[in-house]
Structure 1
């Protein structure tokens, strides 16, 4: 493992990691083992923050039950039980590196939990959150595998690449997943503690990851990568750093803007970058105009807005995340300063979502900003890759759309809402609905629905438009001008494809 040794923090040696790995494998402390002991109901309850069913299920599980209660439930366990569960790691070594803490009864000093995908399971080391520790988190707190991390994991394209950069690695979980499809992985962070825990995570999982310390892209200056993933400190507000995992020291959404602006220069030609980002909704300004100004020329970009938070809700959420009670004197003071900043900047909402960037190297890159606030089950990563493929197809064939034979995929349905009128039931809403992926929906009128009904791979688009024009007494040129933008959008969303 290539490591920048200028950082300091909990130091897990190769020998200690080997012994700890032996203990975890011996006890079955992995994603499948924990689920097997807890069962589906208790495991789901634990995910909802309800530990009691999991505690009951773990009582007869021996050493594995001890590890579940210690690291997943935040319980206090007798020294003898912990000694047995972590053997061949000694208690002295575990206490020295901060893995456990206490005297007669021991508690977790770090968060050590299994994390898996469809291929297998890893172990991830991070700091205890405020609920686990019972107080505020430290300024250099290293976040565990939370909802934001999981959402970026699901949104990342998983295609084989040679080189991948995990910018702002934190506990290293993005790099773990990256190692499945990237031949070489580099991970950076500004936090010495984050790099120390990521280093321990990689050693524990026997992964060779290059670790570098520094701000933003400085550690990889003059290098390029086939893929970059980034979960940056995207919390927006006044320019301050209370917690390195969330605060950049830049004002407003400047951290997200910096990454979007600089990332494409560190990509190889055709390379792809994906990140979580936040952007301000400012009175009198369209959020899409705001984020598009961040982009360098020649960059394909897909901004997907997943949520928009009210400023008051946003501030309260992040105060609690750090273990600060919004009702306390400290919480009131910090909340007031934060909300004053939002008011001064005329912010009426905070957008959050995913950004996919590609170094396209063309004069007229494709930039799309859209809302995707509905719930969906499929991961966004495959959709992001397919979106880029469809952008490529449109770029190559845009002048040939009228000669193309299109078809509507079988996953796309036409939904109708009929309203009773004087002449019977009349369609008031016609909506195309893609039933897979993110579940895109498009409202269409009667003529568009009729045109798409003919898209079955038999006739080119030009013929369909001429037939439609003749049937409805409309000029073919007028229908063509209206149809082509719709066709492009439906192709980008995978709701229409070349036959």
Structure 2
């Protein structure tokens, strides 16, 4: 009989208790496998992991059963997790589901999902429910953790985003069009009584409701209007899924509430990607930060997603699918596909929308969640002040800020080095880097939260360096606004409040 996930929630507490007892946790796996073995697991190399789990002990057996999907004896597994649980999850001697340990916000959790192709040869079916992928983890790291009343997880899948909000939300609603996904989510979230799971398409299950925070990892794959795999295909043309979600966020946010979405969008020669994504948002009532993390050509995009469903790029099926997919892109003028985050804060309806779309393609390691929250605070401050207010304000130079001068051989002198450019770089968060001239660097150097105002520093600098303040002043203020928006300098009142 084919195993069903519908009964997993009932046995999840028993499984979790057994996993804790036998240290089937990330910490336990690290102790057993070591750094090299853990890396092999992450890379999907089962043989390297298996040779470290030959001992006839509880944890090695659990690794063989749950991570490697090796055949194990019913009696051996039943001794660890109980006969009723073993009977439910074993199929032809192997565990029929993925139940993978994760640490989310410092707590051990186990995410229930369908078996993926990382450790076994497996082709995901149309109703496949995804576990925890890189995209899910990247979104998890962007969502703030300040306490709120109500959270919506749109397209909850196996429940990973809800795990990140369990400790900070009084009430969580998770929705999904896929009933099988909700079965897995119930198992992942078993025992959390303040979580409600609802079946339905897009925002239909929460029609008329508003939330303090919305999290969404929708099926955003860009392609033809068809559904091959429910976890990634929306049935909408091109980037229609991202447009649908982003365009309706404001309708379901309370005043001051925020939304955090993974999204994809097409690049065309007809318009800029920034304008395309910004057009999905209303003209009034939102502050939005749109961050493009990556952009790929259509050929790479199609190849990546074919491999995602375990299709050999050299096969006849891949050749046919590739031609159809790329022809559809060509027909619609698609030159590239971008991917990234959309963060939206709900403002009053009569406030003009404040939308910034920019690229953040370099590497960084800090979670973006604190940056997202601070970004909205900085934008609020900028909306509420005038130019005279900015000039009268004092600022803190971010403690992590670094300046560097890039010098190249001086061609004019024929010897030595000449400064080519000067940069200031944040060494935290998104690690923004701005090129600045010597004038702006001196202005920033003079800032102190209890010192002179920005206007006073500009006036003194202009006087000391015989610079026309009427020309220099507005340019300096404009440059400082960009530095404020990216958190290089922080208004002293915001620093004092936090």
TM class by shorter chain equals over 0.9
Deviation of 1:359 after TM superposition, in Å, equals 0.6
> Paired residue for 2:400, among 411, 415, 430?
411
Aligned to 1:211: 197
C-alpha distance in structure 2 between counterparts of 1:329 and 1:47, whole Å: 30
Deviation of 1:467 after TM superposition, in Å, equals 2.1
- Native 8 Å contact 1:63 1:84 kept in 2: no
Aligned to 2:334: 347
Secondary structure of the residue aligned to 1:367 is strand
> Paired residue for 2:383, among 395, 398, 402?
395
Aligned to 1:44: 39
Aligned to 2:290: 303
Aligned to 2:211: 225
Deviation of 1:418 after TM superposition, in Å, equals 1.1
Superimposed CA distance per residue, residues 129-160 of structure 1 (whole angstroms, 9 cap, x where no aligned partner): 23445232111110010001000001111110
The 5-angstrom pairing of residues 321-400 of structure 1 reads: 321-361=308-348, 362-399=350-387, 400=389
> Paired residue for 2:419, among 418, 427, 431?
427
The 5-angstrom pairing of residues 111-150 of structure 1 reads: 111-132=98-119, 134-150=121-137
C-alpha distance in structure 1 between counterparts of 2:4 and 2:340, whole Å: 32
- Native 8 Å contact 2:11 2:85 kept in 1: no
C-alpha distance in structure 2 between counterparts of 1:445 and 1:309, whole Å: 33
- Native 8 Å contact 1:9 1:197 kept in 2: no
Q: In structure 2, do the counterparts of structure 1 residues 420 and 277 end up closer, same or farther at CA, with 3 Å as the change threshold?
A: same
> Paired residue for 1:181, among 168, 172, 175?
168
Superimposed CA distance per residue, residues 63-104 of structure 1 (whole angstroms, 9 cap, x where no aligned partner): 221111122123222333323332254533x2xxxx2211xx
Deviation of 1:398 after TM superposition, in Å, equals 3.8
Matched, 1:481 2:468: no
> Paired residue for 1:455, among 447, 450, 462?
447
- Native 8 Å contact 1:299 1:360 kept in 2: yes
- Native 8 Å contact 2:15 2:85 kept in 1: no
- Native 8 Å contact 2:9 2:183 kept in 1: no
C-alpha distance in structure 2 between counterparts of 1:67 and 1:13, whole Å: 17
The 5-angstrom pairing of residues 44-193 of structure 1 reads: 44-60=39-55, 62-87=57-82, 89-92=84-87, 94=88, 99-102=89-92, 106-132=93-119, 134-193=121-180
Q: Which ranges of structure 1 fall in alignment gaps of 5 or more residues? A: 1-7
Aligned to 1:245: 231
Q: Which ranges of structure 2 fall in alignment gaps of 5 or more residues? A: 493-498
* RMSD value, Cα: 1.8
C-alpha distance in structure 2 between counterparts of 1:313 and 1:55, whole Å: 33
Deviation of 1:13 after TM superposition, in Å, equals 6.0
Moved more, 128-137 or 191-200: 128-137
- Native 8 Å contact 1:202 1:208 kept in 2: no
TM-score, normalised to structure 2's length? 0.93
